[in-house]
A and B are shown apart, each in its own frame.
Chain A
């Protein structure tokens, strides 16, 4: 895990959550641009996976690999599923779904860092 990359992912999740929260307040449904934002985060999570594989192969990472990859798999799945689930609903509730999903990914990133560093 690279801390800067992880912090970037968390920051983008918070921004996306804020954007979705603004849409909730304005009574608007999720728009495609927000899903593109989610896709950018998803891309970075994929990069994190590649980095973790390389680092893991060289013996880095103090935590339990099984636990780490369990969290990683969950993190990877949540945004695409939530995006599809949200986009099929054309009410403000779709924005709440995106808000929940973004904050969940941010939380899981933090947990992955804890596991990776053996905290």
Chain B
């Protein structure tokens, strides 16, 4: 969290500031939800549906990494954010489509089943907002820096 106290203007707009602060918050909440869900599934009933529960665990790890990557926002972490948010976008669309085509395909439902309808479709919307935000904060120009100052 204390990375936010030293704005590094040389690396462009920080992904964790301004609107990004809200984005990281929602990511954090979803990360908590996904960790809770997957650890419960792993401990209590992994043998019932290994594929579904492995997917839930993967989703949880990706959400946690994406949350930290967006919060820190240095060039390396920005790349990590692109990758993890990208995986989420692909994952939710792929798993969502597969789960609609064949509801029993993973044995049990996952965070991404039905395009994340169990979580109010937040898992579907969030990665695309995340990609938009990464794209929007990409360019490091003096104009954007002054915009940031007045924001």
Contacts and interface: CB of A to CB of B under 8 A. Distances in A.
Interface of A: 66-67, 70-71, 73-74, 77-78, 81-82, 84-86, 88-89, 91, 93-94, 96-97, 100-101, 104
A66 B1 contact: no
Contact of B4 (A73, A74, A88): A88
Interface in B31-63: 32-33, 36, 39-40, 43-44
B18 A91 contact: yes
B1 A93 contact: no
B132 to A, nearest CB: 16
B36 A93 contact: no
Given A67-B40, A70-B39, A93 B29 contact: no
Given A86-B21, A89-B18, A104 B29 contact: yes
B24 A85 contact: yes
A101 B22 CA distance: 10
B118 to A, nearest CB: 12
B40 A66 contact: yes
A74 to B, nearest CB: 5
Contacts of A66: 40, 43-44
Given A88-B1, A100-B26, A93 B18 contact: yes
B22 A100 contact: yes
Category for how many chain B residues contact A = 20 to 34
Nearest to A101: B25
A78 B36 contact: no
Contacts of B39: 70
Contact of A100 (B1, B5, B19, B25): B25
A81 B22 CA distance: 13
Nearest to B29: A104
B24 to A, nearest CB: 7
A73 B40 CA distance: 13
Nearest to B150: A91
Contact of A89 (B4, B33, B36, B43): B4
B151 interface: yes
A66 to B, nearest CB: 6
B28 interface: yes
B21 A89 contact: yes
24 contacts: A66-B43, A67-B40, A70-B39, A74-B33, A74-B36, A81-B28, A82-B28, A85-B28, A86-B21, A88-B4, A88-B5, A89-B4, A89-B18, A91-B151, A93-B18, A93-B19, A93-B22, A96-B25, A97-B21, A97-B22, A100-B22, A100-B26, A101-B25, A101-B29
